[in-house]
């Protein structure tokens, strides 16, 4: 009977990165992912790297480590992850006080610059200047998240790691049970994003990790050119996450919606010309809940069109995935008390930035190196 040192559950950016780093540290690692082509938060991410946004000594250090890592990552993984820098444009709605919103960012490592609507329009010609009272701008990193996760997995395989496409049904004391096999390991790392809560529950573990149902529109490559990554300065999703964790009992029952859905109107264009538009976040306690895709698509299009009129009616496809979050914007990293061989590595609020340095630290810590963060 083969026994791995680690089984990593989940093949998004978090699981792929952690599996790679654990293998690099010398462990025998099996990565389990349910789908050949995952339809997860990595797949539908905007790909932004807010390395400028660290607002504590710890997050600033992690952001510095992350950007240094990304500068060499394509070379290390031997793959093009489409890493680049571009201008981030954080829009401030017409009815809001631009100076007050700007102050919310005053503790960031790099403080975004406040622009008038006219200056914002010069930076992003597709912007509807009448819809904003101002905007903030700062240099922002960007990658292709799906290509990056795949690059990690391919490098992991070349290094001797193993991947199985299989649905995990239950976390066991010394391994996992899937649809057609049981795999044994000394340790299990849960990196399953929005499904992490459900998987932990299968092992009898009640854990305060949560999820939203996220919805976007994705277009095929288009001729229209968006120069910047556009997002609202007052991101409602973070408020939604903090509020929804106040209803713990509701989370233990499927079919609940603790608070109403919100929409953040933004857009990013990838290097192939395709766009990802908007993000609806719904707090539905059933990970398998169905939503009205037609109504969602109309809401997304109308909201994006207010800010970026040229993009609202482009042909595109509605998509949906789960996004994990914690109850205090601090991610989960490490063993669960009372279940020392079951580890959680999930719930990151800025995953594309902080997962690479934290996964490296986690793997070295697992190999016996002291670490003040893990």
**What local confidence, expressed as pLDDT, does residue 330 receive?**
78
**What local confidence, expressed as pLDDT, does residue 66 receive?**
97
**What local confidence, expressed as pLDDT, does residue 9 receive?**
98
Q: Is residue 372 part of a domain?
A: no
**What local confidence, expressed as pLDDT, does residue 242 receive?**
78
**What local confidence, expressed as pLDDT, does residue 236 receive?**
80
Share of the chain above pLDDT 70, in %: 100
Domain count, the chain: 2
Average per-residue pLDDT in the chain? 95
| 55 pLDDT more than 80 | yes
Q: Is residue 371 part of a domain?
A: no
Q: Is residue 44 part of a domain?
A: yes
CATH code of the domain in which 22 resides = 3.50.50.60
Residues 214 and 157 reside in one and the same domain: no
Residues 249 and 308 reside in one and the same domain: yes
CATH code of the domain in which 319 resides = 3.30.9.10
Residues 49 and 9 reside in one and the same domain: yes
Residues 221 and 128 reside in one and the same domain: yes
Backbone angles phi, psi at 167, to 5 degrees: -85, 125
Cα–Cα distance measured from residue 217 to residue 312, given in angstroms and rounded to the nearest whole number: 10
pLDDT in tens, 300-317: 999 999 999 999 999 999
pLDDT in tens, 356-373: 999 999 999 999 999 888
**What local confidence, expressed as pLDDT, does residue 177 receive?**
97
Residues 219 and 336 reside in one and the same domain: no
Residues 287 and 356 reside in one and the same domain: no
Residues 105 and 234 reside in one and the same domain: yes
* Contact assessment for residue 279 and residue 267, using Cβ atoms and an 8 Å cutoff: no
Residues 156 and 290 reside in one and the same domain: no
138-151 average pLDDT score: 98
Residues 214 and 264 reside in one and the same domain: yes
Share of the chain above pLDDT 90, in %: 88
Cα–Cα distance measured from residue 134 to residue 96, given in angstroms and rounded to the nearest whole number: 9
| 120 pLDDT more than 80 | yes
* Contact assessment for residue 46 and residue 276, using Cβ atoms and an 8 Å cutoff: yes
| 245 pLDDT more than 80 | no
| 244 pLDDT more than 80 | no
228-251 average pLDDT score: 85
Reported as a pLDDT band with limits 50, 70 and 90, residue 283 is: very high
Coil vs helix vs strand at 13:
helix
154-179 average pLDDT score: 97
Residues 159 and 222 reside in one and the same domain: no
Structure tokens at 215: 């919805």
Strand segments, DSSP code E, in the chain are 3-9, 29-33, 48-49, 84-93, 113-115, 132-142, 162-165, 168-172, 175-178, 182-190, 209-218, 229-232, 262-269, 275-282, 317-326, 332-336, 339-346
102-127 average pLDDT score: 98
Q: Which domain holds residue 41?
A: 3-81+144-208+329-366
| 239 pLDDT more than 80 | no
**What local confidence, expressed as pLDDT, does residue 173 receive?**
86
Residues 30 and 161 reside in one and the same domain: yes
Cα–Cα distance measured from residue 313 to residue 111, given in angstroms and rounded to the nearest whole number: 34
Residues 193 and 136 reside in one and the same domain: no
206-222 average pLDDT score: 96
| 294 pLDDT more than 80 | yes
| 237 pLDDT more than 90 | no
**Any bridge partners for residue 84, and if so which?**
142
| 343 pLDDT more than 80 | yes
**What local confidence, expressed as pLDDT, does residue 331 receive?**
87
């Amino acid at each position: 009977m083969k026994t791995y040192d680690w089984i990593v559950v989940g093949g998004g950016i978090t699981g792929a990165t952690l599996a790679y780093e654990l293998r690099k540290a010398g462990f025998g690692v099996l990565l389990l992912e349910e789908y050949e082509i995952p339809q997860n938060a990595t797949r539908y991410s905007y790909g932004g790297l807010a390395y400028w946004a660290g607002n504590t000594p710890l997050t600033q250090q992690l952001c510095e480590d992350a950007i240094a890592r990304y500068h060499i990552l394509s070379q290390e993984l031997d793959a093009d992850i489409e890493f680049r820098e571009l201008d981030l444009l954080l829009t401030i709605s017409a009815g809001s006080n631009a100076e007050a919103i700007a102050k919310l960012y005053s503790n960031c490592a790099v403080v975004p610059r406040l622009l008038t609507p006219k200056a914002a329009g010069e930076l992003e010609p597709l912007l509807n200047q009448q819809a904003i009272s101002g905007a903030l701008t700062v240099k922002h990193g960007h990658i292709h998240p799906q290509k990056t996760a795949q690059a990690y997995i391919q490098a992991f395989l070349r290094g001797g790691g193993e991947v199985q496409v299989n649905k995990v049904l239950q976390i066991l004391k010394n391994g996992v049970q899937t649809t057609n096999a049981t795999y044994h390991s000394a340790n299990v790392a849960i990196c399953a994003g929005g499904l992490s809560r459900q998987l932990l529950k299968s092992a009898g573990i009640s854990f305060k990790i949560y999820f939203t149902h996220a919805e976007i529109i994705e277009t095929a490559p288009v001729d229209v050119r968006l120069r910047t990554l556009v997002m609202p300065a007052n991101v409602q999703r973070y408020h939604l996450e903090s509020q929804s964790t106040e209803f713990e009992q509701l989370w233990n029952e499927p079919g609940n919606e603790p608070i109403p859905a919100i929409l953040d109107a933004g857009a990013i264009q990838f290097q192939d010309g395709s766009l990802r538009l908007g993000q609806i976040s719904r707090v539905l306690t059933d990970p398998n809940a169905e939503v009205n895709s037609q109504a969602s698509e109309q809401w997304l299009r109308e909201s994006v069109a207010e800010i970026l009129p040229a993009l609202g009616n482009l042909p595109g496809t509605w998509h949906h995935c789960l996004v994990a979050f914690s109850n205090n914007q601090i991610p989960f990293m490490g063993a669960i008390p009372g279940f020392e061989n079951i580890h959680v590595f999930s719930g990151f609020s800025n995953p594309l930035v902080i997962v690479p340095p934290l996964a490296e630290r986690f793997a070295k810590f697992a190999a016996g190196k002291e670490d003040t963060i893990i």
